[in-house]
Amino acid sequence: MRARSPHEPHRAATPLELLFDLVFVVAIAEAASGLHHAIAAHHTADGLIGYAMVFFAIWWAWMNFTWFASAYDNDDVPYRLLVFVQITGALIVAGGVPAMFEARAPNLATIGGYVVMRLAMVAQWLRASVADPERRVTARRYAAGIAVLQVGWVATLFLPSYRLSVFLAGAAAEMLVPMWAERAARTSWHPHHIAERYGLLTLIVLGESILAATMAVQAAVAAGERVVVLAPIIVGGLLIVYSLWWLYFDRSAHDLLTTMRRAFVWGYGHYFVFAAAAAIGAGLGVAVDQAGAHGSIAPLTAGLAVSVPVAIYLVCLWILLDRPEYGWMRALGPIAAVIVLAMSFTPHPVLWTGLTLATLVTVKVLMRRAARA
């Protein structure tokens, strides 16, 4: 398992990586569905906490695999088998998500599945430590750090009560492991490959939003709701997804990954991009519920369920992806985020949020054309 060159030409995602991403669709869908039902049941705070915890487990396992594969993917039989183990762990996590939202605490399935994914990653790093003497210390640090933390996660199952502070401490420790390990020697991840992999997961979470909204509309129509009542949500939801796609893929991001410090900020910051994009689907489901027969959901709650994750997405893109050469146009992201939040107080918040985002995309396109002219 020798390190691959970070300058390898035409480096693209492999079929195994694409399969890995598709399996994570199940876990992401379960997390978004849990958030949707928690908001609809007036357990918004608990739902947000549970969603953040589950999504961290999903995103962190995905991210660690992605950066490892960028440096060491040799596609041999042991590598493939270990990836299959990680995929199995993701499915176990997905199976435990509904029970976790109901109990408002991690359970054996969510923690057990996460540990399965992470222990497979330990085996991958141990293989790399044998085959790559130059980065042997780095690989062993990764393996040791991950293994110790899994013992800690399993120990949380025996606590009399699960506290949010325990999760935050464990999550912080997980994120410190790569920082500690990479100090010994930088792994040979590929900037173009990493940018493509993050883009692919962005497509998946945006697709989850479309799927969640479609299922909510189908349920409302099956319950006798008229399509004309749902038309503003349908149109607005499509405009939101299309605009968010446009804004993310406005430019390639590989040239931002020039140093380890910037790579850490960019890589870690995407947690909020991915989580917000997936949460938009939950918010659209809540908006459909509110427009239909579920009158117990306040209109403002339904509006905020969409506008808040959209605003978070915009602000994160502004921090992570906007470039200095945009000039004053860089301020459009935060301005649009504020306007989107204000749309929560309108009669049709989803539609007006979609129109705001479409306007933002149009302004950016026109201004770039003017600058080139």
Separation between Cα atoms, residue 44 and residue 296, nearest integer Å: 14
Does pLDDT of 65 surpass 80?
yes
H-helix or E-strand spanning residue 104: none
Instruction: Evaluate whether 141 touches 88 at the Cβ level (below 8 Å).
Output: no
Please give the structure tokens belonging to residue 286.
Answer: 């809540």
Does pLDDT of 58 surpass 70?
yes
Quick one: average pLDDT of 240-256? 88
Sorting pLDDT into bands at 50, 70 and 90, what band is 323? low
Which residue is associated with the tokens 């893929």? 249
Quick one: average pLDDT of 47-57? 89
Instruction: Evaluate whether 114 touches 91 at the Cβ level (below 8 Å).
Output: no
Structural domains in the chain, sorted by start: 15-182 (no CATH), 191-372 (1.20.1410)
Sorting pLDDT into bands at 50, 70 and 90, what band is 217? confident
Quick one: average pLDDT of 149-175? 88
pTM: 0.90
In this predicted model, what pLDDT tens digit does every residue of 4-35 receive, in sequence order? 888 888 888 999 999 998 888 888 888 888 89
SS3 state at 12: coil
Q: What is the DSSP letter of 41?
A: T
Residues near 10 by beta carbon (within 8 Å), at least 6 away in sequence:
none
Distance of CA 305 to the CA centre of its chain: 17
Which amino acid does the sequence have at 323? R
Does pLDDT of 324 surpass 70?
no
Torsion of CA 302, 306, 311, 316, to 10 degrees: 140
Separation between Cα atoms, residue 28 and residue 206, nearest integer Å: 11
Quick one: average pLDDT of 309-325? 82
Residues near 179 by beta carbon (within 8 Å), at least 6 away in sequence:
264
Identify the pLDDT of residue 166.
87
Instruction: Evaluate whether 213 touches 232 at the Cβ level (below 8 Å).
Output: no
Q: How many residues does the chain have?
A: 373
Sorting pLDDT into bands at 50, 70 and 90, what band is 308? very high
For the four alpha carbons of 246, 252, 254 and 260, in that order, the dihedral sign comes to negative
SS3 state at 56: helix
Please give the structure tokens belonging to residue 265.
Answer: 């900020």
Closest CA relative to residue 29, chosen from 6, 58, 1: 58
Separation between Cα atoms, residue 164 and residue 174, nearest integer Å: 15
H-helix or E-strand spanning residue 139: helix 136-155
Which residue is associated with the tokens 């464990």? 170
Identify the pLDDT of residue 171.
92
The values of phi and psi at residue 355, to 5°, are -65, -35
From residue 131, how far is each of 1, 15, 64, 137 by CA, in Å?
5, 24, 19, 12
Identify the pLDDT of residue 194.
93
Separation between Cα atoms, residue 212 and residue 227, nearest integer Å: 17
Residues near 148 by beta carbon (within 8 Å), at least 6 away in sequence:
none
Instruction: Evaluate whether 316 touches 325 at the Cβ level (below 8 Å).
Output: no
Does pLDDT of 157 surpass 90?
no
Identify the pLDDT of residue 328.
54
